[in-house]
Each structure stands twice: as structure tokens, then as C-alpha cells.
Amino acid sequence: MRKPVIAGNWKMYKTLSEAVDTALALKPLVANANHCEVVIAPVFTAIKIVSDRLEGSNIKVAGQDCSTQTEEGAHTGEVLASMLRDVGARYVIVGHSERRQFYSETDAEVNKKTQAGVASGLTVIVCAGETLDQREQGSAESVVSQQLNGGLSGLTASDLDRIIVAYEPVWAIGTGRTATPEQAQEMHAFIRRVFAERHSKETGEALRILYGGSVKPDNMAGLMSQPDIDGALVGGASLKAESFSGIVNYRR
């Protein structure tokens, strides 16, 4: 049985006090959510205080990115995956389309970040997704498999225990335009097949694949009714405790 993961990506939003307030407001609202792992990803500067304030709760904290480096050194502005773990993060998101699009992140960099995250004992949420143009040209599957093959190259089957894939079609992120449950299911089943072929049937079956892109409390149940959708990576609707808890506690 794959345990669903419902992760909120707060992106570059919230002051320190807003981050703490949201996290504390969320805590009682999801306290009974034993059906899934609940994760929130605040900005780097808020990770420590948010994870301290959530200690003992069922909410875990993620970084939104990490360095490609694996050892400390003269790399101004970078944060090691092990440093995220040191301040309480247990997950890290890598390869988000905003990083690929606005910071020219490559699959090779995503791969290094993924390896660094796994080596530091973090669970790594690796994002992949096609643009609208790519979908319309019929290349969505090849784009996603290329991103995942590149981003996950060199990882062993046991490393894959620490990997979660997030399928996030770029055209659905922050646009209010969600992929239909059927469109998402089709891609999730494809991703699972790719992993089964590359590794083993068991590895494919065990892999958790999240959907991301305009997930809201009212479309979550439809997405989760699909057999290969194992949770969600939520942006905008994770910023408020009420809407994020509505997603976590979707009617099953």
C-alpha cells in the first residue's frame, strides 16, 4: 500500500510570523489525518522555527530546493541538503518547474540535488512536467520521461525508497487550470510503467507519484479516486491553513 503524501509548497511567500501562524493553525486541522503524510515547505529562513513549532505533530517540513554540492565550502548563497536536515527538514523538493523555467535548472543539476538529498537522509520530491506547447505537440510523455531519467540517473532501487515523484504539468501550475483526473491518471500510469521497466515491477508499484497543478479542496477527491495518484503537491491552496486542511482531509 502506498501511503499518500500531501505536500504544501509555500514558494516565496510568508514572513516568519506568518509562516508560524499558518503552521500552528494547520496543526489541529490535520491532527487526525493518519491516512497520509502531511508536509509543508516554507522558505529556507522559516524552516527551523516552523519545524520546532511542529515538533511532535504529524506535519513534516520540507525545503523547496537544495544545493548540488555535497560538502560545505565557498558557495555563496547555497544551502546543503544536510543543512536542511540539520534544521529539521525531512523532505526536499527538487526540479520544480519554476526553478527549471526561471533559474535554468537542468536535469543534471536536478540529479545532483536528488543524490545530495538522498545522501543526507531526506525524502526527495522530484518534480517533472510538460509545458502546454509540449502537450499540444504530443511530446508530454517523452518530456516527462526525459526529465525523470535525467533527474534520477544513477539512483539505486534502494535509493528510490526515498524518492517521490511529483507530476506537475506546467500549464496547470498557478493557472486555475487543473489536469482532469483522467489526464493526470494517464501520465501517472505512464510514469509508473517507466519505473517498472527501468527497475522492477515492485519498484514501479511502490513509487509514490503526486499530482501538482491547481489542486484545491474541491478537486482533490476526484484526483485521488484515480489508482495511480498518490497525493498532491499544492501551491496556492496550501498558503491558507483552511484550504490546505481541506485538501488533506478530502472526502475519501
Contacts with ligand PGA, residue ranges (CB under 6 A)? 9, 168, 173-174, 212-215, 233-237
248 in Cβ contact with 30 (< 8 Å):
yes
Query: CA-to-CA distance for 232 and 170, rounded, in angstroms?
Result: 15
Is the CB of 103 or the CB of 201 nearer to ligand PGA? 103
Is the CB of 23 or the CB of 39 nearer to ligand PGA? 39
Q: In whole angstroms, how close is the CB of 102 to ligand PGA at the nearest point?
A: 12
Query: CA-to-CA distance for 130 and 140, rounded, in angstroms?
Result: 5
The candidate with the shortest Cα–Cα distance to 210, out of 54, 76, 38, 71, is 38
84 in Cβ contact with 122 (< 8 Å):
yes
Q: In whole angstroms, how close is the CB of 173 to ligand PGA at the nearest point?
A: 4
Query: CA-to-CA distance for 233 and 213, rounded, in angstroms?
Result: 8
Which one is catalytic: 37, 105, 109, 168? 168
- Expressed in percent and rounded to 5, the helix, strand and coil fractions of the chain are 45, 15, 40
Is position 18 annotated as part of the catalytic site? no
Is the CB of 4 or the CB of 236 nearer to ligand PGA? 236
Is the CB of 50 or the CB of 203 nearer to ligand PGA? 50
Q: In whole angstroms, how close is the CB of 191 to ligand PGA at the nearest point?
A: 16
Is position 168 annotated as part of the catalytic site? yes
**Helix residue ranges per DSSP H, the chain:** 16-29, 44-53, 81-86, 97-102, 107-119, 132-136, 140-151, 181-198, 201-206, 217-224, 241-248
At residue 203, the 3 state secondary structure works out as helix
Is the CB of 121 or the CB of 174 nearer to ligand PGA? 174
The candidate with the shortest Cα–Cα distance to 59, out of 93, 84, 23, is 23
Q: In whole angstroms, how close is the CB of 43 to ligand PGA at the nearest point?
A: 14
- Environment class of 121 (CB within 10 Å of its CB; exposed 0-12, middle 13-18, buried 19+): exposed
Which one is catalytic: 37, 96, 105, 109? 96
Q: Which residue is nearest to ligand PGA (CB)?
A: 235
Q: In whole angstroms, how close is the CB of 2 to ligand PGA at the nearest point?
A: 20
Catalytic residues: 96, 168
